[in-house]
Structure formats: C-alpha cells, structure tokens
Amino acid sequence: MPSASAPTPDQIRELIDGQLIELSSGFGAEDDLFEAGLDSMAIMQLLLLIEESFGVEIPMGEVTRDNFHTTTAIARLVTEKQAA
C-alpha cells in the first residue's frame, strides 16, 4: 500500500538492504550506493519497490547517478515526485 508520507533515507535503506544489496551496519545516508554494489539491475528493482512503497513513478530520464548515489538523494527525489 503506498505511503502518503515522504520517505526518509532510513526507509530507502530498508528497501535496499537485504532485498537488493547487503549494506554494512555502518552504511550512512550520505554513503555511495554504487560503491556498495548498487547496479543497473538493482536500480530497476528499486524503482519497482519505490512505486509500490511510496506510490510514485520515477521517469527513466531521472534515473541518474546523482539521483541514486545516496539514500538521501533517493528520498529527496521520491519526495519531489510525491509533491508533483
């Protein structure tokens, strides 16, 4: 069920950790997801999880390294889409 509230970096981390890639216990909101192992296949899965969890669709043109390099950046992008 989609959430009406804006996601936090921790909620984004929960979507990623264990389902897409394993994040270390010390992985922070500003740490690089690509360095942690996020790849194009995981991003596609993440897009589906975001849509299911937060009720927003991210256009492929906005699937950029800048928008997906940290959980903070992803949370900000999802919040922007919810507001639109």
- Provide the pLDDT confidence category of residue 4 given band limits of 50, 70 and 90: low
CB count, 10 Å around CB of 37?
12
Per-residue pLDDT band for 6 (boundaries 50, 70, 90) equals confident
Name the pLDDT band for 18 (thresholds 50, 70, 90): confident
The tally of domains found in the chain comes to 1
Residue 1: what pLDDT? 43
1 assigned to some structural domain: no
Contact 79, 6 (CB under 8 A): yes
List pLDDT tens digits, range 21-62. Answer: 999 999 999 999 999 999 999 999 999 999 999 999 999 999
**Are residues 50 and 31 in contact, defined by beta-carbon separation less than 8 angstroms?**
no
- What residues have CB less than 8 Å from 63, skipping those under 6 apart? 43, 47
**pTM score > 0.85 for this model?**
yes
**What range does the domain containing 47 cover?**
9-20+30-83
Look at residue 53 and tell me if it is in a domain.
yes
